[in-house]
């Protein structure tokens, strides 16, 4: 897609497998975290969020895990489908309205 | 509900020309954000508004860039004069903020090419 980076980390998975996308965030004071999905030619789309007082949150086919000790965030997608192919961004928010976006990970789903 | 609407979707113009990008946020959202996305720098926040008032414009790259929000349903980002290095995809996003723990909703962007 057009969005970001010829040199994005890429995760390639077989259709039907589970995907895990990892993210290291920068600020230990961040208290709100969001995962976005960006398809080619579109804007980032909200998937799931989590607050710092939680370590796990589940949505439909997606789970976000937060490890504040090591400042790590992950997005798990169950039974990955071709429509899940996109660039995934983690984002962090530190007590204000400025959201800091990660560089993104490109997920490629093989049929 | 309609999402964030941006126009135009694509803009190609020659350097030195004025460029105006437009955004209609989601109705009822009181925060509006302008971002720029490039291969080299990823997604960068340029400026954001709360209740039509600019709060933080520290991401605006130069004086050639300006943004306005004359009312709750419309914002513009203007580049004058434009330069080739301004070529990027520009996104507008809005959120409903009574606190900071709200996701932003993005439009589909304007792809800007300055020749």
Residues of A in contact with B93 (CB under 8 A): 43
Q: Per residue in B56-65, pLDDT tens?
A: 999 998 899 9
Q: Which of residues 23-42 of A touch B (CB under 8 A)?
A: 31-32, 34, 36, 41-42
The overall average pLDDT reported for chain A is 90
Q: Does A105 touch chain B (CB under 8 A)?
A: no
The whole-chain average pLDDT of chain B stands at: 93
pLDDT value of position A61? 96
pLDDT reported for residue A66: 97
In this prediction, residue A4 has a pLDDT band, given cuts at 50, 70 and 90, of very low
* Rounded average pLDDT over B103-114: 96
Does residue B89 belong to the interface with chain A, where contact is any CB pair within 8 Å? yes
Three-state SS annotation for chain A = CCCCCCCCCEEEEECCCCEEEEEECCCCCCCEEEEEEECCCCCCEEEEEEECCCCEEECCCEEEEEECCCCEEEEEECCCCHHHCEEEEEEEECCCCCEEECCCEEEEEEC
pLDDT tens-digit map of A29-60: 888 999 999 999 999 999 999 999 999 999 99
Q: Tell me the per-residue pLDDT of B65-77, one tens digit each, with 9 for 90 and over.
A: 999 999 999 999 9
Average the pLDDT over B92-112 and give the result. 87
Residue in chain B nearest A5 by alpha carbon: B39
């Amino acid at each position: 897609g057009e969005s970001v980076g010829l040199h994005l980390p890429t995760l390639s998975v077989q259709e039907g497998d589970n995907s895990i996308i990892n993210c290291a965030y920068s600020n230990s004071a961040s208290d709100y975290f969001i995962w976005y999905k960006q398809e080619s030619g579109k804007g980032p789309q909200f998937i799931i969020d989590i607050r710092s007082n939680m370590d796990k949150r589940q949505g439909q086919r997606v789970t976000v895990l937060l490890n504040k000790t090591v400042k790590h965030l992950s997005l798990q997608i169950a039974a990955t489908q071709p429509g899940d192919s996109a660039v995934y961004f983690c984002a962090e928010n530190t007590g204000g309205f400025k959201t800091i976006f990660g560089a993104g990970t490109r997920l490629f789903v093989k049929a | 509900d309609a999402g964030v609407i941006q126009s135009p979707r694509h803009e190609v113009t020659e350097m030195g020309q004025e460029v105006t990008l437009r955004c209609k946020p989601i109705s009822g959202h009181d925060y509006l954000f302008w971002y720029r996305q490039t291969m080299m720098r990823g997604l960068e926040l340029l400026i954001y508004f709360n209740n039509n008032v600019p709060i933080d414009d520290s991401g605006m790259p130069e004086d050639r860039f300006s943004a306005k929000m004359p009312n709750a349903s419309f914002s513009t980002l203007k580049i004058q004069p434009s330069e080739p290095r301004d070529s990027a995809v520009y996104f507008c996003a809005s959120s409903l903020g009574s606190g900071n723990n709200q996701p932003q909703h993005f439009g589909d962007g304007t792809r800007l090419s300055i020749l």
